Copies of this chain bind each other. A is one copy, B any other.
Amino acid sequence: MATDCRNCPLRPRPLFDDMSESELAFMRNFKTGELEVEAGAQLMMEGANAPHLYTALEGQGLRYKTLETGERQVINFVLPGDFIGLQAGVMNVMYHTVEATTRMRLCVFNRAALWSLFEEQPERAYDLTWLSAVEERFLGESLAMLGHMSAEQRIARAFLRLQDRGTALGMVKNREMPLPYRQQDLADALGLSLVHTNKTLKSMRERGLADWRGGSMKILDYSGLCELAEMEEDRSLTPRPLI
């Protein structure tokens, strides 16, 4: 039973912008259904086109590129509210793969209708560009992270960024949130080897900074982590459009 956009569980969150009546009407029409996929499913494949666009409703996933050498670069972690398939939508081909890490529920949009969005809903088109610009910003920050930070700092920063997003989505209780990824996933996101990631995680656990085991990540020393990651202690995410 598909959720009506009017009852979207995500949109009421302060993280997401309000939607006008006309936008809502458009979205209800734009949305063609819902999809539930099992953990491990590939939603989008690098090099392929895709007939659908998605917005994650529930569950968690990964975006990654596969390199010629077989290694992976994780581009980002996919959480509820994330729009999936913009590249395929405008460029007709994906340049990274999107995979479900847990079982996921997704809103499905018809790619062919994307053009009508630009024609009929300039606000929504603007929002799409906004999202793309945010992603660009995020990737720029990731680049800086890989270019200039130690393993410990990268992990601290990744944890804090995830916690920020998790907080805005109500996934955090008592500085603890579900993080159902493997160590290899984090290593591939941060440009580190699995072994070194493992050792650094252990040291951070022992030093009482953060504890990530069994699919759940808990921040133990918030201030310490912020300092390590060179991040403000007082942060909040800018509200963003939901598509």
Q: Is A65 an interface residue (CB 8 A)?
A: yes
Establish whether residues B137 and A136, one from each chain, have CB atoms under 8 Å apart when the complex forms: no
In the assembly, what is the distance between CA of A125 and CA of B132, in Å? 13
CB contacts under 8 Å to B, within A98-124, are 115, 118-119, 122-123
* Interface residues of A, count at CB 8 A: 43
Q: Which residues of B contact A128 (CB under 8 A)?
A: 129
Contacts of A137 in B (CB 8 A): 87, 91, 95
A35 interfacial by beta-carbon distance below 8 Å: no
Given that A73-B148, A126-B90, A126-B118 are known contacts, is A143 also in contact with B139, CB under 8 Å in the complex?
yes
- CB contact under 8 A between A140 and B67, given known A118-B122, A129-B125: no
State the majority secondary structure of interface residues on A. helix
CB distance from A46 to the nearest CB of B (A): 10
Enumerate A128-176 residues with CB–CB distance to B below 8 Å. Answer: 128-130, 132-137, 139-144, 146-148
Contacts of A17 in B (CB 8 A): none
With A73-B140, A122-B125, A125-B122 known to touch, is A191 a contact of B146 (CB < 8 Å)? yes
Q: Chain B residues with Cβ under 8 A from A119's Cβ?
A: 122
**Chain A, 171-192, CB within 8 A of any chain B CB:** 188, 190-191
B residues near A90, Cβ cutoff 8 Å: 126, 129-130, 133
A136 partner, pick from B115, B139, B188, beta carbons under 8 A: B139
Can you show 24 pairs from A to B with CB atoms below 8 A apart? Answer: A65-B144, A67-B230, A68-B230, A69-B148, A73-B143, A86-B133, A87-B137, A90-B129, A90-B130, A90-B133, A91-B134, A91-B137, A95-B141, A115-B126, A118-B125, A118-B129, A128-B129, A132-B133, A139-B139, A139-B140, A142-B143, A143-B146, A146-B191, A148-B191
- For the complex with contacts A73-B140, A115-B122, A146-B146, 16 further pairs of A-B residues with Cβ separation under 8 Å are A65-B144, A68-B230, A69-B230, A73-B147, A87-B133, A87-B136, A90-B126, A91-B130, A95-B141, A118-B122, A125-B125, A128-B129, A129-B132, A132-B133, A147-B188, A147-B190
Residue numbers of A with Cβ under 8 A of B are: 65, 67-69, 71, 73, 75, 86-87, 90-91, 95-96, 115, 118-119, 122-123, 125-126, 128-130, 132-137, 139-144, 146-148, 188, 190-191, 230, 238
